[in-house]
């Protein structure tokens, strides 16, 4: 049986003064001495993954911007390119965003001339998404940039270490997905 995560409640404690009387601990807005928080977090797996992911995300974002795309738009472009005819709702699910956000992304791709909406053959109320020729070219450019980035990123890591890292990260993702599913029950 999976137990629910512990909820922490922070209460105001009173600490003893030197004269034996008590004084309240600092409250919101008051300064306190440093707690060396980052140093205590750094040895943790979660913090290491977040820190590495943040740095990689910033660098990849910088590289992808040379194609005038955000990572979200590039990811949408790749999903549409891999699934011609996908609906906006399906795209939202694959991107992990809500439907209105997916519409904004598709609107932007359409204005850039990279994607187009058309009526679905099966149901004319549904809009099917496809890449334009320009969208295919830009997607190819960004895949090339991403591939070069990956090559540089992993140049000091053996293939075996790369496979191990991918496997371990995959297990973390699966474990977190299971924990969220159990919390929803």
Query: Dihedrals φ, ψ of 98, to 5°?
Result: -80, 165
**pLDDT per residue over 91-125, tens digit each?**
999 999 999 999 999 999 999 999 999 887 777 77
pLDDT digits (tens, 9 = 90+) for 135-167: 999 999 888 888 888 888 889 999 999 999 989
Handedness of CA 123, 129, 133, 134 (dihedral sign): positive
Cβ-count burial 27-51 (b if 16+ within 10 Å, e if not): eeeeeeeeeeeeeeeeeeeeeeeee
pTM of whole model > 0.85?
no
Tokens of 104: 């904004």
């Amino acid at each position: 049986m999976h137990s629910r995560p512990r909820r922490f409640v922070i209460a105001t404690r009173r600490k003893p003064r030197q004269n034996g009387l008590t004084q309240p601990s600092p409250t919101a807005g008051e300064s306190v001495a440093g707690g060396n928080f980052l140093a205590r977090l750094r040895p943790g797996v979660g913090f290491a993954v977040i820190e590495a992911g943040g740095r990689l995300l910033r660098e990849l974002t910088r590289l992808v911007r040379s194609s005038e795309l955000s990572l979200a738009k590039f990811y949408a472009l790749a999903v549409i390119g891999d699934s011609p005819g996908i609906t906006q709702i399906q795209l939202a699910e694959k991107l992990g965003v809500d439907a209105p956000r997916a519409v904004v992304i598709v609107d932007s791709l359409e204005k850039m001339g990279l994607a187009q909406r058309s009526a679905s053959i099966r149901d004319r109320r549904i809009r099917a998404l496809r890449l334009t020729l320009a969208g295919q070219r830009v997607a190819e450019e960004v895949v090339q940039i991403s591939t070069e980035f990956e090559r540089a990123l992993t140049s000091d890591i053996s293939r075996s270490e790369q496979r191990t890292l991918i496997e371990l990260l995959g297990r973390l993702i699966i474990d977190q997905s299971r924990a969220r599913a159990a919390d929803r029950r």
